[in-house]
Amino acid sequence: MPPTSPTGAVETGFRSAVGRFAGPVRGIGLAVISVFGVLAVPDESVPLGLALLGLALVGAVVDGVPDTRGTWVALALTVVRACAICATQASTASGPNLWALNVLTITAITVQWEWPLEVAVPVTAGLLAVFLVAGGPPTAILRVVIECLLARLAFLLLVRSARGVDELRARQAALERAEVLARERRRREREYLALLHDTASATFLLVGSRTSDPAEVADFARRDLAVLTGSTGGPGLDDRLVDVESSLRSVVEQSPLAVDARWGHVPLLPVPVTLALVRAVREAMTNVERHAGVREAVLSVTASGTGLVVAVTDAGRGFDTAAVPEHRRGVRGSLVERMAAVGGRATVDSRPGDGTTVRLEWPRG
């Protein structure tokens, strides 16, 4: 094969296909043509014709063997075979010999596909010179030259088309990677906004309350700072499976509420899911602490297939979920969007004076 450096899968596949099939097609074609050529030679030339047929059959075998296909050995035998037939059968009394002309044409065209110009041009010129010296007509030479030019042009156009497809695929892959990165960046931004609501913004709202206790606000601020700076030792965002129960127990232990925790079988979950559940539970308990008007809550953790259902329930003052403004991110950002980002679901059931239940479910359904 020509020493090329294809950069794409389509171009590589095209060049590989040419390397696999050009030689065998040439070998089989010349063998068949040589059979008919021997049948057309005069009786006195039959021994020479049979020798040329044998050479054609040997060349067909070499062209078809994977270890020699496309090598210098195959090229040398191709040239010897074509030169031998053209030198002895180039012309007849009535005009050019079709055997020699067809061998010359097929050989010259397939060489354009298999080898670069620095090899194909001198090989083709040599074959044409042998054919012309042996008595082949110049008009046949012109025809072969035009056919070789068209063959080379068609090959280059196909290579360029294959390269264009590879470039389109590369650009598409780059666009897809950029889209994935953009989605990940948006996901992290949503996570950050949700975390910011869980911590600093909620504390700021408490600061604005006339009934806020300075010591309580300071305690909230210290906990918020620990979460935002990552000093709580929470799990990292990777794809490992971790024990979500221990993380949830840590949330329960750190909560100032009196939490009645009810544990079922808790499977191992991916870290992003665990992180979303832990932060959602922390937000739900913080809402109880800051808005429900009670100091008790119930945490229920149960397995659901290979997933998990976590519920945080309080008997506090409750609220009208339909009346929550769109710009408030507590339920939508810290709970609903956070769980949706990891393939889960969060629902809030609450009515004024009738308490609140936050249900976190993963996977969805």
Cα 138 to Cα 157: distance, rounded to the nearest angstrom: 29
Q: Among the listed ranges 18-27, 190-199, 255-264, which one has the minimum average pLDDT value? A: 190-199
pLDDT band at 10 (very low <50, low <70, confident <90, very high): confident
pLDDT higher than threshold 90 for residue 314: yes
Radius of gyration of the chain, Cα coordinates, nearest whole angstrom: 40
Q: Which CATH number does 235-365 carry?
A: 3.30.565.10
Q: Which residues neighbour 276 within 8 Å (Cβ) at sequence distance 6 or greater? A: 338, 339, 341, 342, 344, 362
Rounded mean pLDDT of 308-319?
Answer: 92
pLDDT higher than threshold 90 for residue 315: yes
pLDDT at 71: 85
3-state secondary structure of 298: strand
Cis before residue 363, ω within 30 degrees of 0? Answer: yes
H or E element, residue 91: strand 91-92
Task: Compute the mean pLDDT over every residue in the chain, rounded to the nearest whole number.
Answer: 81
Q: Among the listed ranges 65-74, 122-131, 181-190, 212-221, which one has the minimum average pLDDT value? A: 212-221
Q: What percent of the chain has pLDDT over 70?
A: 79
pLDDT band at 3 (very low <50, low <70, confident <90, very high): very low
Answer yes or no: are the C-beta atoms of 95 and 133 closer than 8 Å.
no
In the chain, ranges of CATH 3.30.565.10 domains: 235-365
pLDDT at 207: 55
Type of residue at 257: L
Q: Which residues neighbour 289 within 8 Å (Cβ) at sequence distance 6 or greater? A: 255, 256, 257, 295
